[in-house]
Amino acid sequence: MKSNETEQQFLKLAKTIQMDERVPDGFQAQVMARVREQHALEIRSSDEQFLRFARNLPANEHVPYAFEKRIMARLRDLLTPDPLTLWSRMLWRAVGPCLGVMILVVLFSSEGLVDTSAGQAAGELDFETADFETVMLASFDDLENTW
Amino acid sequence: MQATENSQETDVRTDEELVRIVVGGDVECFEVLIIRYQSRVFGMARKYFRNESDAEDVVQGIFTKTFQKLSSYKGTAPFEHWFMRLSLNACYDALRRKRNRPDQTISDMLFDDESWQDRLSNIPDASDRVGLEEARELVYTVLGQISDRARIVLTLQELEGRSIREITEITGWSESLVKVQAFRARKEMRASVERFLMKEEKL
């Protein structure tokens, strides 16, 4: 009975004592560092596990049926020239020589013009114009004579 | 037809000899090179392209480009290296072109019945086609979140086990660029895995 009373008293006393809720300095940071470390370890192990998994997975080297025939047919098509392509290729090749000829013709004709304009006096030009007219109308003169 | 294929598969001529013959005008010999390399090229293309028709288009493009560029092969390095480099560059170009079209997202890949850890812990058996396809899908989705260059470096270094030097030879990139990309690839992959785990936790 007496012991029971002592027990009750002790419990009463114990209840009156407030809980010591003090937190040591840097405790939170310490715990968080541990958590982060643990998380990193987990990730790293998952990461390693994933790599091991991927490494051991056999590669799928299955080749579709007659794949090489398909490629060869495509290459043969590439090698067979298309008439339109050939024609356009020829046209493109002709561009250079054509341009060359055109430039030469322009040069020659401009040189001829320069020569005639430099060597001719105004009177000579009038004379030649008259000659040209006579020659051009000669056939009409003949016609008049016939009728 | 089968006999012809078999005779081409067992052709004893080296790649370099075949290249000389093709460049010399015998185009039909190119078929031997196609048969010799097509499975490897398909394996490589499927690492970067999930869609079968995309992979086929890329492989077709690789062989066409190889044929067109065959005369530029000088023979200083083995044909295999030259060809694989060309193939990888073609894959990289195709990846860049394809970037604008979103593929599968992480949320599409989460399965209700199986966790990430469970799925990674067992590699499906070779006979389990569906399981293998799902596993490839998972790998593809995680790697799909990584930038193209980083993905190529990660595939070559971590999955194929190639050295930095080999990667520089294959890609034609500088050693420092490969190292930077390798570092970035690991970081991006980690982030991708983390996103996967976080999505799973939310469910």
Residues B95-124 as b/e (b if ≥16 CB within 10 A, e otherwise) read beebeeeeeeebeebbeeeeebeebbeebb
Residue with more model confidence, B106 or A104: A104
The encoded tokens of residue B61 equal 């493009």
Q: Quick check: A68 and B35 CB within 8 A?
A: yes
Radius of gyration of chain B (CA): 19
B118: pLDDT strictly greater than 80: no
- Side chain identity, residue A124: E
Residues contacting residue B143 through CB under 8 Å, at least 6 positions apart: A54, B151, B154, B155, B189, B192
A5-20 pLDDT, tens per residue? 888 888 888 888 877 7
Please give the Cα distance from B151 to B136 (Å, whole number).
Answer: 15
Please give the Cα distance from B53 to B134 (Å, whole number).
Answer: 18
| Cβ–Cβ < 8 Å for B80, B105 | no
A29: pLDDT strictly greater than 80: yes
Task: pLDDT band for B4, please (50, 70, 90 cuts).
Answer: very low
B161 neighbourhood in chain A, CB within 8 Å:
55
> Best interface-test mutation with B: which of A36, A68, A72, A80 has the largest number of B CBs within 10 A?
A68
Average pLDDT over residues A126-139: 72
Distance from A87 to chain B by nearest Cα, in Å? 22
A49: pLDDT strictly greater than 70: yes
Average pLDDT, chain B: 82
pLDDT of residue A120: 57
A76 neighbourhood in chain B, CB within 8 Å:
27
A119: pLDDT strictly greater than 60: no
> Best interface-test mutation with B: which of A49, A51, A62 has the largest number of B CBs within 10 A?
A51
Average pLDDT over residues A55-61: 83
ipTM of the complex model: 0.74
pLDDT of residue A142: 67
Q: Tell whether A51 is within 8 A of chain B (Cβ).
A: yes
Residue with more model confidence, A54 or B196: A54
pLDDT of residue B1: 41
In the block, which residue shows the tokens 């009177």? A123
A96: pLDDT strictly greater than 60: yes
B38: pLDDT strictly greater than 80: yes
Residue with more model confidence, A72 or B202: A72
A117: pLDDT strictly greater than 50: yes
| Cβ–Cβ < 8 Å for B189, B146 | yes
- Side chain identity, residue A119: G
Write out the DSSP string of B117-186: HHHHH-PPPTT-HHHHHHHHHHHHHHHTTS-HHHHHHHIIIIIS---HHHHHHHH---HHHHHHHHHHHH
Write out the DSSP string of B116-132: HHHHHH-PPPTT-HHHH
A64-73 pLDDT, tens per residue? 998 999 999 9
Q: Quick check: B46 and A60 CB within 8 A?
A: yes
Is B151 exposed, middle or buried (CB count within 10 Å of its CB: 0-12, 13-18, 19+)? Answer: buried
pLDDT of residue B77: 86
B7: pLDDT strictly greater than 60: no
On the CB side of B188, how many CA atoms lie within 13 Å of its CA?
20
The count of other CB atoms within 10 Å of the CB of residue B38 is: 19
Determine the Cα angle at A64 with ends A61 and A69, to 5°. 120
Residues contacting residue B80 through CB under 8 Å, at least 6 positions apart: B15
Using CB atoms, pick whichever of A52, A62, A71 lies closest to residue B60.
A71
What is the torsional sign of CA A22, A24, A29, A32? Answer: negative
pLDDT of residue B9: 60
Average pLDDT over residues B168-184: 89
Average pLDDT over residues B53-77: 91
pLDDT of residue A138: 73
Determine the Cα angle at B169 with ends B164 and B175, to 5°. 45
Determine the Cα angle at B47 with ends B175 and B119, to 5°. 110
Model-level pTM greater than 0.90? no
Q: Tell whether A104 is within 8 A of chain B (Cβ).
A: no
Most confident of A4-8, A13-17, A42-46, A96-100: A96-100
B190: pLDDT strictly greater than 80: yes
Using CB atoms, pick whichever of B67, B136, B193 lies closest to residue A50.
B193
Task: pLDDT band for B111, please (50, 70, 90 cuts).
Answer: low
Calculated CA dihedral for residues B45, B49, B50, B52, nearest 10 degrees: -60
**A:54-93 residues touching chain B, CB 8 A cutoff:** 54-64, 67-68, 70-72, 74-76, 78-79
The count of other CB atoms within 10 Å of the CB of residue B29 is: 19
Average pLDDT over residues B122-140: 81
B177: pLDDT strictly greater than 50: yes
| Cβ–Cβ < 8 Å for B29, B18 | yes
Average pLDDT over residues A98-116: 81
A139: pLDDT strictly greater than 80: no
Average pLDDT over residues B130-155: 85
